[in-house]
Chain A
Amino acid sequence: MASQAALGSMVISILPEILLLVLVIVVLAADLFWRAGRQYLGWLTFAGLALTLVAAMVYSRPAGASSLVFGGMLRHDWPAFSFQVVFLFAAAVTCLLSVGLSDIGDQGEYYALVVVSTLGMSLMAASADLIMLYLSIETTSIPLYVLAGYLKRDDKSAESGLKYFLFGALTSTVMLYGFSLLYGLSGETNLYRLAEGLRVGAITPWVLGGVAMLTVVGFGFKIAAVPFHFWTPDVYEGAPTPIAAFISTASKAAGFAVLVRVMLVAFPSIEFTWTALLAAMATATMTIGNLLALGQHNIKRLLAYSSVAHAGYAMIGLVALSELGAASLVFYLVAYIVTNLAAFAVVVLFARSAGSEEIADYAGLSRRAPGLALVMMVAMLSLAGMPPLAGFVAKFYVFAAAVQSGWIWLAFVGVLNAIAGLYYYMTVLKVIYLYRSDDEDKPIAVPGPHALALALCVAAIVIVGTISAPWLDWAMAAAKGIF
């Protein structure tokens, strides 16, 4: 009986993953047998993801203490659960954005790949074992490589897929080498037991620091931190826009989920080394991301560099090495994800009607589609960190965490970077609101699913920005669960 109860709770803990797997099969089967309903596949996937989200919220909330399940492969805890909720939300919005787009909107494989990737992310957030970690990262990445190159007749998309794959494969090899050294040094693959092994064994901090750096390579690629960011603009530009949105939000958050867990759990003995390393990386990531964004003419490339910069801000939360810091990181990712999804939603809609991704072509948008212009304004101002939007409180918490832990210089680097960010976000708004164009009388269609996605994201941006207490409390609970 006892073992049955334990099995039940173990199954409940991976309920979202099970449902996602079922959803993959349902979507593929529908694609195969329900030819007439293909244009509803996006809605079907959205409904499945929304259902999974609700089921996860109701049933698989971690009850008491965090527990290792499935022989220590997974850890059922608040951070994993919080990240899973975020991934499911991002994937659901991504599916809504894909509905009705040519070449992807009615393809079963497309939605199935999105769901498989979400499944991988969900496992990434919960992985407590090096082997599980590596498998889940690959489960996430491989579908994303395919999705980035999904537009077979589009050279840029093919380039995007290949580039993403090559970078991903390289960094993942380096990371795997790091994992093998970790195993060699400690004799364990479980992160929590491995940390014990590293503490007891007399390993020089230099060696351990080197190993930490090798693993950071892989995570740095996932979160697009400098110097592992080179793929970002090309991949975002070439990939189908909803996929660019997905990569820049959910995939980045998944990278952070493992980065936070591995760093905090496996390397507490050398925390001074890796916080210094990550502080330097955060500085470079923010600064280079923002500086390169200044000169972009393509909105997707601009958002790509801006997403690099945002990885830098979020890393400050990890460097702070405190509960507030980890909470601020989780909070930052939530705010960033809802905001970036809103921005990409506008990009999808604009490209759909106007056929362009050049910032200059956004001229006159405020007359052409005042509502869409307003959404873009909300998204840009939230990315820039303006109240009363999510981005402001998120930045506030991150900088607060930095100041609390004595990283005053890093807080200054952050706030000065926020100004560079403000400049290019404002420039986009200037084009939208000030410049005129000849196409002002051509309306921009906003179909139902996209309107729903926009409404969800804008509501989330405003709610997280104004009533942030419950979300912060949630992030705090997640932060406590990591340690």
Chain B
Amino acid sequence: MNFPILSIIIFTPITMAVLILLLPSERPGLIRGFALTAAVIAAGLSVAAYISYDQAVGGYQFVEQLRWIPALGISYHVGVDGMNLPLVLLTGVVIFTGVLISWGIDDRPREFFAFLFILATGVFGVFASLDLFQLFFFFEIAVFPMYLLIVIWGWKVTREYAAMKLTLYLFIGSVVSLVGALAMYFTSGLGTFNMLELEQAAFTPAFQRLWFPFVFLGFAVLGGLFPFHNWSPDGHVAAPTAVSMFHAGVLMKLGAFAALRVGIMLLPEGARFWAPYILVLGTINVIYGALIASVQTDFKYVIGFSSVSHMGLVMLGFATLNLNGLTGAGLQMFSHGVMTALFFAVVGIIYDRAHTREIPNLGGFNKVMPLVAVAFIVGGLVSMGMPGFSGFVAEFPIFLGLWQVQPIVALIAALGIVITAAYIMRVVSGVFFGDMSAELAGHIGPVRGQDKVALAVLAGILILIGIFPAVMAPMVESGASAVVRIVGGM
């Protein structure tokens, strides 16, 4: 295929960011129009790529490779397989809905959308990357706009603290991984950063065991792995709505995906050695995240900690190193991305109108915004892993995979689902049902059309995958089987 679809997906956002910066700041309508155009192009092409991926052939498709820094064997090299194509699609979906949700931003919308699109380019670039240097290059591009987005447009109370904490955590993680990646590059002796070639490098087991923790944990910081998850709830809560959606929905997957792509796939022996420890940490994520979520009174913190809990399931799926677990992890990354974007969109819609996120002060929102309530409940059912929704499709294989390696971990982690059900129901009853307090009643404005479209798209995807897992599961399974071939599991 000669049409460079991935490059267009990657570079459309940043090109548009530059164009948006050149627009006059007093024309917000024009700025939003440009932003929506870019989002539609990126999302539309991701869908097109997803549909036209040939599953019968499998492997990496839409591959493009250009020499970039030949002296060090670095190239611009993109391609997608069953593992990362759903994530490209997820990014497209979230950038599209994120722009819709941010329609009402009126403080410097030009800079807001420009930074958001620089971030989007970074994310697309990492997901499609087949070159290790390029992966870091885009990874950092995805990290720094976050700081400005949170610190400028975030929640006034905690934004400075949360933005700095987030940025430093993620930067520490990525530079530690970077040293590991350099060690791989020089030890391999291949003189290339091409990850497909580095997979064949056959590093010694001692080297792999030494460097795996650096590389894997460095990226897993962004994936929210315990005990490095601390930045994430603070960051989610402080961020403006679209950024929380992007952040929890896409960026955490960025960390998890990079940990898989670089950590597990390039250092498989290290992965086998350290897998039991990741199982333990992932289990703590699931249980601890869910427990903390269930005692929060701030609506947004509940969702923030629920992300920590759900990302634990992704890590558990990775650590099984078998086909079921990895397939489940891949599906969970997509499903959780959409679900949590939906959650944060709902939180944002309610907070913009009620100006509080304290669950005890909220209530009765199903009467004033029924569609929002329905969307949230759909997300809640996904979160609980209810059959018929995408969460079940994702979590079931993870638990199958876990049972194959460590039944006890499967049992403990399953408790997380019970706790999840408890806090989701508490939020649903506290926010959407019951009676609205006197000071809120009558002051809640209508929901914008853009918001409704965004929620409908997100909820629709969750239901679609729940009812027809065949639209995604076989593709992820083909990607997961490629990983399994490398790590040599079942």
**Chain A contacts to B: CB under 8 angstroms:** 366-367, 370, 374, 377, 381, 384, 386-388, 392-393, 396, 399-400, 403-404, 408, 411-412, 415-416, 418-419, 422-423, 426, 429-430, 433-434, 468-469, 472-473, 476
Contact = CB atoms under 8 A, between A and B. Distances in A.
A387 B140 contact: yes
B144 A381 contact: yes
A415 B179 contact: yes
A388 B167 contact: no
Contacts of B136: 387, 396
Contact of B175 (A415, A429, A430): A415
A347 to B, nearest CB: 21
A422 B179 contact: no
A313 to B, nearest CB: 13
B486 interface: no
B164 A392 contact: no
Main secondary structure of the interface of B (DSSP, over half): helix
Which one of B21, B68, B136, B137 has the greatest number of beta carbons of chain A within 10 Å?
A: B137
22 contacts: A386-B140, A386-B141, A388-B137, A392-B137, A392-B140, A396-B133, A396-B178, A399-B179, A400-B186, A403-B183, A403-B186, A404-B186, A408-B183, A419-B175, A429-B148, A430-B160, A433-B151, A468-B69, A469-B67, A469-B68, A469-B70, A472-B71
A388 B151 contact: no
B321 to A, nearest CB: 28
Interface of B: 21, 25, 67-72, 108, 111, 133, 136-138, 140-141, 143-144, 147-148, 151-152, 160, 164, 167-168, 171-172, 175-176, 178-179, 182-183, 185-186
Contacts of A423: 164, 168
Main secondary structure of the interface of A (DSSP, over half): helix
Contacts of B152: 433-434
A418 B141 contact: no
B468 to A, nearest CB: 39
A320 to B, nearest CB: 11
A419 B179 contact: no
A259 to B, nearest CB: 24
A472 B179 contact: no
B185 A400 contact: yes
B161 to A, nearest CB: 11
B240 to A, nearest CB: 13
A400 B72 contact: yes
Contacts of A393: 69
Contacts of B186: 400, 403-404
Given A387-B141, A426-B147, A433-B148, A412 B69 contact: no
A422 B72 contact: no
A328 B49 CA distance: 39
Given A370-B25, A387-B141, A404-B186, A426 B178 contact: no
A418 B175 contact: yes
A469 B168 CA distance: 29
Given A426-B147, A469-B68, A411 B179 contact: yes
Given A423-B164, A469-B70, A403 B182 contact: yes
